[in-house]
Structure 1
Amino acid sequence: MGEGYHNGDFNEVRKKAERFGSVFNVQGADAFNMFISNAGLEEVPLGGCSFTWCHKSANKMSKLDLFLISESLLSLCPNISAVSSDRYLSDHRSILMRESYYDYGHVPFRFFHYWFDMTVYFSVPLYESLCTSNNMRKLKVDLAELDVVIDKGDEDVVNKRTNVVRSLRELEKLQSVEVAQKAKIKWAIEGDENSKYYHGILNKKRSQLAIRGILIDGNWTESPNLVKSEFLSHFKKRFDQPQETRLQLDMNFLNILNSDQQADLECEVTKDEIKRAV
């Protein structure tokens, strides 16, 4: 969604941070956001420069151009994003919508709460039982094989089939809890088996949190190697040990604490000391 007209433009923004050097219209922004919500639309994340319009004097800037798509499309295609280009002689930056995939390597290990609820139904190690997709495929194959045996008149495997069905249902339940926790939505909100709702929330969160690129010296960069290198350099400067030589005092002090005084300063504060001080 963008403005290409010069007479009667719709120049509203969604929040205060999208204006610079001009008055932010709260009522207009609320009406605009209400329309977007009622229409079931979502804004496509924009990369590059934050402001897409700039006054010729360069003292006023706004984010007037954006893409709005349906929530269902964003759930199906969470990798859709937009990027702004150079203005050149225009007062607007053109924006491009595309579907991009970025591989930043392995994700950090996370421990999920639902693992505590897992009951051992499988004769396999725990780390294998956590692979729910593989286990579900195996259980479905076992169920199909048992049904074939039962159809031939062999009723000795009925109990085994019951155990397989129970394990399959428990695994489906755990899979739903997993999706609910990843979406950070309470399981009881939309029902126990409404996985479509949770997958939609999860894809939306992934789209909002995904790093598609960063500005490096004013240039939009999307290369995973350059992005990771810039992140490493950024945080290393802030958390690495300073290289500057610190001031050191090289002098003899007349009064020096003895060992008993040093121990008294380093010992824990007792309740009696606090009581006396109060």
Structure 2
Amino acid sequence: MVNLHSSNDARKKRLLWDKLLNFMNNNEGEYVLFGDFNEVREESEKFGSIFHPDEANVFNLFIGSSGLVDIPLGGRKFTWMNKSASKMSRIDRVLVTSNIFEYFADLKLTTLVRGYSNHLPLLLQDLKHDFGPTPFKCFNSWYLFSDFDAMVKDASSEIMDNRAFYHDKMKLMKQRIKKWVKSKKANMVLRKVEIFSRINDIDILVESGNDTEETRIERRDLMQELDTLNRVDDMDIIRKFRVKWDAEGDENSKYFHCLLKQRRNGQMIKGITVNGEWLTDPNATKQAFFEFYANKFAGQSSTYLDLGHQRAV
């Protein structure tokens, strides 16, 4: 565990990154680096001061070369603020080697209340919150179909009128979506056969010299449609393999399991800010999401899927 306070001088910071990288390469083990790095990774981590992309690139290169993972920050966006509140930046952070997630899969980094210092204290903890079972998984490929919005809204309007419990309603929604996906997949198979047959006919016309401008445009459009259909299949295959790999794995995949846990740790919602308050309690978080979406859906008819991509209030 390395507690550090980097210099403001760009040359000294580079020397520090090189020294740390050399030490880590020559001393095997897991590392946790924390403290005031006096450096940001991107322009959005600064406010009111000049962003130096070259220095940020050197810092990012150090993180990538050393195999370190930047733990996502919860609670506040910036960790440092000057006395006049005209300048802010995220210069305090915690970096860990990826294998750390093999032992602590639920690492969370949260800001605490500021005291007399101009830096926010940070709390690193291995804390797992149980939000309950996930009703169902949503595949990104479904959003490529233009009628997915209408299907979900129609199904939800029927199901929500049902007096069943919420969990049972989600089961009904899952059944409706599975039925819709099955129908779409069957239509895609038939459409692919039609496209291949028509492209073959056009190719014969081209070889015989009897093609026209219209047939060439038709062939281009058919190829684009075929690419879209193949992209849907590819997205589903990748998703299914990830799920299977994550669930079963194999004896030689420790490194890749670490990457999966690292990605999952970065994507999961560790908390949300509501009216300036950072909430991590599962019940309070669920209630905040419920109220947020209830307000969004009230009187709206065309924003269902767009709202589904939002990750925080």
2:242 to 174, 177, 181: 181
**Which of the pair has more CA radius of gyration?**
1
Pair 1:77–1:179, CA change in 2 (3 A): farther
Preserved contact between residue 41 and residue 71 of structure 1 (Cα < 8 Å):
yes
Question: For residues 67 and 45 of structure 1, what CA distance do their matches in structure 2 show?
Answer: 9
State the match for 2:259 in structure 1.
201
Shift of 1:231: 0.7
Question: For residues 104 and 27 of structure 1, what CA distance do their matches in structure 2 show?
Answer: 41
Question: For residues 292 and 274 of structure 2, what CA distance do their matches in structure 1 show?
Answer: 11
1:237 to 289, 295, 301: 295
Shift of 1:202: 1.7
2:71 maps to amino acid? V
- Structure 1 residue 25 corresponds to structure 2 residue 52: yes
SS in structure 1 at match of 2:110: strand
Preserved contact between residue 183 and residue 198 of structure 1 (Cα < 8 Å):
no
SS in structure 2 at match of 1:91: coil
Pair 1:240–1:72, CA change in 2 (3 A): same
State the match for 1:49 in structure 2.
76
Report the count of equivalent residues. 173
Shift of 1:108: 2.9
- Structure 1 residue 106 corresponds to structure 2 residue 133: yes
Shift of 1:15: 0.9
Question: For residues 89 and 230 of structure 1, what CA distance do their matches in structure 2 show?
Answer: 31
Preserved contact between residue 183 and residue 205 of structure 1 (Cα < 8 Å):
no
| Structure 1 or 2: more helix by fraction | 2
1:213 maps to amino acid? G
State the match for 1:213 in structure 2.
271
Question: For residues 195 and 4 of structure 1, what CA distance do their matches in structure 2 show?
Answer: 36
1:63 to 83, 86, 90: 90
Pair 1:203–1:10, CA change in 2 (3 A): closer
Pair 1:235–1:195, CA change in 2 (3 A): same
List runs of 5+ in structure 1 lacking aligned partners.
Answer: 113-176, 186-191, 243-278
Question: For residues 21 and 102 of structure 1, what CA distance do their matches in structure 2 show?
Answer: 36
% identical aligned pairs: 36
What CA RMSD, in Å, does the superposition of the two structures yield over aligned residues?
3.1
Shift of 1:226: 0.5
**Structure-1-length-normalised TM-score:** 0.55
**Structure-2-length-normalised TM-score:** 0.49
Pair 1:92–1:41, CA change in 2 (3 A): same
Shift of 1:178: 8.2
Shift of 1:59: 1.0
Pair 1:227–1:111, CA change in 2 (3 A): closer
Pair 1:183–1:4, CA change in 2 (3 A): farther
Pair 1:5–1:86, CA change in 2 (3 A): farther
Shift of 1:195: 3.0
Pair 1:52–1:68, CA change in 2 (3 A): same
Preserved contact between residue 85 and residue 94 of structure 1 (Cα < 8 Å):
yes
Pair 1:99–1:224, CA change in 2 (3 A): same
Question: For residues 54 and 197 of structure 1, what CA distance do their matches in structure 2 show?
Answer: 38
